[in-house]
Structure formats: C-alpha cells, structure tokens
Structure 1
Amino acid sequence: MRGNTHFVVPAARFALDPAAAGFLTTYTFGTHTAKHTFCRACGITSFYTPRSNPDGVAVTVACVDPGTLSHVEYRHADGRNWEKWFAGSGISGFSKPQEAAPAPPPPPAAAEVISEFLGGGRQEQQLLGYSTARRNKECDYAERKMGGRNDAATLFRGKLSGNHWELYADGKPIGKGRLADFNRAKNLSLYSIARWVDSELVQYPQMKVFLRLISPRHFANGDWNTGGSCGNSIPLSNGSESTLTSQLTHVAVEYREDKDEAEAETEDEHAAMSSEATADVVHSGGCHCRRVRWTAEAPASVVAWICNCSDCSMRGNTHFVVPAARFALDPAAAGFLTTYTFGTHTAKHTFCRACGITSFYTPRSNPDGVAVTVACVDPGTLSHVEYRHADGRNWEKWFAGSDISSFSKPKEAAPALPAAAAEQVQ
C-alpha cells in the first residue's frame, strides 16, 4: 500500500532533525516490531524502523536529496512470506556497523525468458502461476541451458519425442496438421511474454530480460555435416511431384479451415473478455488499519499510472482514476483523513492519519475524479492492470499529450435504438 523502497543503515548512523520530532506519527501492527513512521502533515514515510532490522533505520530511496546516491541496486523482499525470506536474505547484516553486510542470493533482477519454438508447455498456467523455473523433468533442459539457475522465468516449452518436436498448448500436445493452433501458441507466447515483462518491471525496474528462441535439432543419426538426415529427403521424382502437390493442397485447405475456425473462436473469446473487462464492477478497499474504507465503480481491467513527481515518488503511489460520482467514502472514515496540498494546490493528497496510507486522493490531472491506489483495492475484483508512465516532473508537457483527463469522465450511455429497430430486436 505504501509502495516503500528503502535501504538500511545502522541506527547510530542516522540522525533526525530535532525539529522533526513533533511532526511524526508511528504506526505498528502484527508483531509491532516495525515502527512505520510518517509525517503527520504530508503522510510521507521518509524513514522507519523495519522488522528485519530493529537495530537499524530504513531510509526511503525517493526521499534522499539529489546528488549523493550514485547507484541503487534493487532487491526483492518477500514480505508476504517474511519468515522464510528473512531466514535466507542476509538483510540483518546491513544494520550492523562493524560487519560488512553479507551479500544475499541475487534476486531476479535478470531473467531469461525461453520460448522454445514459440509454443508448447503449460503456457497460461506457467505464466500466471509460476515465476521461477521448478526443478522437475520439464525444467531440467531449461536449467542446464541457464547454468543451473532457478531464478529465471521459463515460459512455454515443447518436448523432444524421438526425432520430432512436439508443441504443447494448455498442457496438451498439438496434433499434426493443426497449423492454426501453432499460430495461436505463437501469438499467446509473444503477448504473454510482453505482459509478463510489463508486470515484472513495476517490481524490478532494473530487470533485464533476454528472449531466446530455440529451434530443435531435427537431424537423425548425426548432424547435418556428419551424415545425419532430417527425414525429409525423398527426391521429387517418379511421380512424387503430383503426390506431394496433392498433399500440400490438402494441407493448405485444412490450414485455411482451421485458421478460419481458430480466428472465429479467438474473436469470440476476445469479445467476451473485452465485454467483461470493460463492464463496471464495484471495487472496495481502504487503508492498512482499515479506518478508511471506500467503494469505487470501475472496470475489472484498469489503466494505472506510475507517476515520477516528487510526491508520488516519495509516497510510492500507483493509481487508476474513476469519476468522482463513482467513488463512495465510508462516512465513518471522514474523521481519520488528513489532506496535504502543495504547488498549485489542485491535487488533494488524502491519507489516513492513523496509518499514513494514501488509499485514494484527488489528482491534479483529474480534479473531477478520484485516484485509487491499486495496492489498496481488496483482492478479487481487479482482473488486469495496464501500467502507464506519468511524467509528473514535466507535468504540463506530459499532460498536454496524455489522455488521462478522460478517465474521470462518465461513460456516455449508448444511443437509443430507433423505434423500428427496437421492435425488430424485441
């Protein structure tokens, strides 16, 4: 919710300006080991005491004044599985003043996306459910190719069966002659890889992804230069031409039929998905302490903005915009809200005065709307989030070419059918 990215220093090496003490509020929960300190005027957490380093201070990277940080290496902390992650992380060493901080295992800052022949494997299951190559028979090949690393995402695979390469889609082998399915597997691979990269870059902005396409060797009894054969060496003679031509014609006709059928199925699927994604649903959400609760009507698929302005960077805010009329604040929440403004004072940065979380606010780009923090939406109603960049540091120029202002405009109702057409529909 807070979107905090921090580095840890020993407590003895952190000094708070004495004048700041009167402006601080501290929020705790769970084990109450972590002390989430935020400014009670603006809601920004510029530092806090983390659970992993109770003898240290976590400093928010975006809150450091420019000019002293020359490089930042981003590492992933799995706070949702804290105990398991902490045991192997080595993070506790960063708050020890006399010891060199041990280097923890490298996070997935670089991933090699393997798309073997652009098909095969359990594409959707692996893409959505697995981000780490598992040590099973299917992944042995990929891990050998990657030096045994198991921190790489391995997407889409086929299997070698004798001297043939069998493509798999949805866990099932694709039969011969189903060329349309091959195209579908290829497109699914490419689009899914792109979506995966977009989603991972939000968490790992320094991540590098290498796409390697692997085409299987198809020579039997040796390589191409050592007497091997590809199995397609029947000469075009003794009447084979006509046989081959008829075979190719048959395959072409079957391909066109399969292609038309597959495209029709795909169009129907896309239409159904598009209809579901654009229909408004009621999202609920709020702050971490749950004193601030609200509902917002928006599609299940939303466009979220990652802004680099000073406030959003410090706050770690990523939001989507809804019309103000489609946002409802729980009446009980009003007494727990504080609003911070600066600059033009158009944006109203609202946060919970108890936990400091900005679960929603009124953005400068959409004074007639509400910006809802993606991470503050309760699970279950958001099916897809498309992330876009908002250049808040060059706001006027970016805003002039952006379509963000349209997101707070209510959708226009579909025009009524003419009476004659309406009778025909009935």
Structure 2
Amino acid sequence: MRDADAPFVRVTTGTDQAALRRAHLGLVLRSLRDEGGRSRAQLAADLGLTRAVASGLVGELEARGLVCPGARQRGAVGRPGTTVELDAGLVCGLGAEVNVDHVSALAVDLGGDVVAERRVGLATRRLTPDEVLDELAAILRDTLAELTVGQGRHVAGVTVGVAGLVDAAHEVVTLAPNLGWRDLPVAQGLRDRLTSAPAPLSVDNEANLAASAEIDPADPDRSDMLVVFGEVGVGGGVVADGRLRRGRHGFAGEFGHMIVDPQGRPCACGRVGCWETVVGLRALLEAATDPDDPVRDPALTLEDRLAGLAERARRGDTRTLAALHEIGSWLGTGAAVLVNALDPGVVVLGGYFAALGQWLRPAVEEQLAAGVLASRLGETAVVVSTLGPTAAVRGAALASLEHVFLDPTAVPRRAETLNGAAR
C-alpha cells in the first residue's frame, strides 16, 4: 500500500504521452479551423500552451501537410511574426450520397472548399441494392482516382449518407422506406467493391449529415438549431450547444414520420399521415402540376424540376403559388411542434425547401407565430440554407475530415508519403 503521507507520483507511459500529443495536435488544428490563422505565440496563449510546445506542434502539423506559413502579422509589437494557417492543398474528405433519384460524391479540403464532385441521376427505387452500390462504387472509384492520382491528395476517409434509418455503429442501413432497403450493410458492400477504399469508410443518415453541414462555430445563433431537410422524403437534425444530437440509438431527426394528418395519405413507411406525405416533393408536385406536366418528367433532375417551379412562381402562376403556400403551411405546422419541444434559436430550411424558400418561408413563419407557445417571448428565426441540394453529401465530406481534426496523426508525414510512393 502507498504511504498516505508520501507524495503521489503520476507515471506517464509512452501510450499516455502519444495520446496527449494527438490531443494537443487536434486542439491546435481545430482552433485554426474555427478561429482562423494566428502566430505561434498567439496560439500558445489562446490554448494555454508554452511557446515551445505550440511551436513543436505546429512543426509536426506542417510536416503532415496540415498547416502552412501564412501572412506576416501587421501592427504587432516588436519583430513581426508569421501566422500559421490551415494548408488546404494536401488532405481532403470524401462524401457520398444515395437518394431516391441520384447517387453522388463530393470532396472538400481542410478549408471546406469543394475539390471534386460527381453526380449521376439514378432511379434507385427501381434497382436492386447491389445495382445501386455498383453505381456508387463506380463514381467513388473515379473520384478517388481524380483526388489521389490527378490532384496528389491524401483522402482522409469516405462517409456515405443514405436517406433512412442508419445504424452507424454497425454500418448498416436498418430501414430506408423510400429506397426499399432493409438491414443493408452498405459500408461493407462498398469495401468489397473498392480495391483500395480509404479508411475509415462509414455510413450515416443523410439528413443528419445535412444538418451537420449547417453548423458554423463562428455563428453563436446556430449553436441551437433545428434543420429540416426536404427531398422525396423529409428528415433533419437537432443541433444543441453546437453539436449534432443523435439520440440514444442514433435515429434522432426522423421528423418526416411524425403523424400530422391521421386521415391523410399512406406513407412509404407503412403508416398514414406522416409529415413527409404533406410536405415531401411528391406532395408539392401533385399540388402544383398535372400528371402529364413536363416538370414531372422522370428524366429531369431535381434541380431542373425545382427551377421550373421557381420560374412559375416568379411569373406569379396562381396554382404554383397556392401549392407553395399549402406546403409552407404544413411545413410550419410540423415545425411548430418541434420548436415547442426543442426551443431552437434557428430553424433552417434545407434541401428542396431551400430552393423554394422565398415562397415557403412566409407561410412557415405564420404557422410558427400561431403554433409556438413562447413565440412572443423568444422568437425562433427561419432561415433558408445556402447549401442547396448538396448539403448532405457536403456534410458527409466534412464528417470524413473530422477524423483528421480529432487525430492529425492519421495523416502520414510528407516524407513517409513520398517514401511509400517511391517504393
């Protein structure tokens, strides 16, 4: 037994020291992402590190191609220093998406800029899961080749977004009603099809990924946020204290299957009157167009359909405007239930709701004012996403990059990469 009066000495193992260093590297990298470039001295002061430690961490991040020297500081006392900034040239995250009418891939660099993008229109409901995964693997293969061979980048990982319930821990799509999928091991299916799949390769719910793409650490108004994402189905995400909340089993955000009209139409999930049956794309098309309307042509992309409806709304077409008001009212009715339960500061309209947001938002705001108990005490703003239909796949790409921000040592040093290439 240790003598109670003897001083306690903590023994630090090599494993502890390595973990601590990884944590400090991630801390510096996230700080540069969230708060911008700074000098080594300022980083040390901001993060509570000594200058020597901060300088050593920056040096290692630079060796891994994650940071680089920036501009000379101006207005500083004494000799001007050089700022440290994220280096967007080497590392990227790759996202992919499976939806009812397309599969896509998109890559972003450390600064969040898009560096590669592919999208293929695909009637996924009419194909077998294997056929869909074949198509997705093909565009991932092409995108990976463009990034690694064409651009010389290191791909940090791949995250696949799917419209449905996703057991992310086991990499399985549990239920995707609009795709007709059940208990499908998507991640393993892609690994089997990709001879050199980057690790990690994971799968997640597309609406949660779209919601995560809306998070902005620099905007305090978005620290508590409700994101509603509409395409053929409707989903979303809850952001609290700047973090996406997934719930006990990881299935939070399935807003589209709230019952809002018990006497309404059947939903693809097997129930009646779900929210997505009155605000999903099908509901809009049926309210705004006839069955033989060109906008319903299955050969059109979602963007083309929405552009056609937006043009009619701009021209003042009575039926289109009435349909948008009806959808907006139902959208506001469901949002009011969620706002009463969650009290967010902001409701973000994403997906197809964003493309038609200028016509949907007034009706949403009307219903929130009428249906939210505390609307006079604390207003919840309704904003239109600027990310458009790529929000989910962009969120997937950012999720792949998050592995680097948590553990920068996942990226090999440049010398290691060059030596490996030479071999």
TM range (shorter): under 0.3
TM-score by length of 2: 0.22
Largest Rg, 1 or 2:
1
Q: Determine which structure has the larger helix proportion and give its number.
A: 2
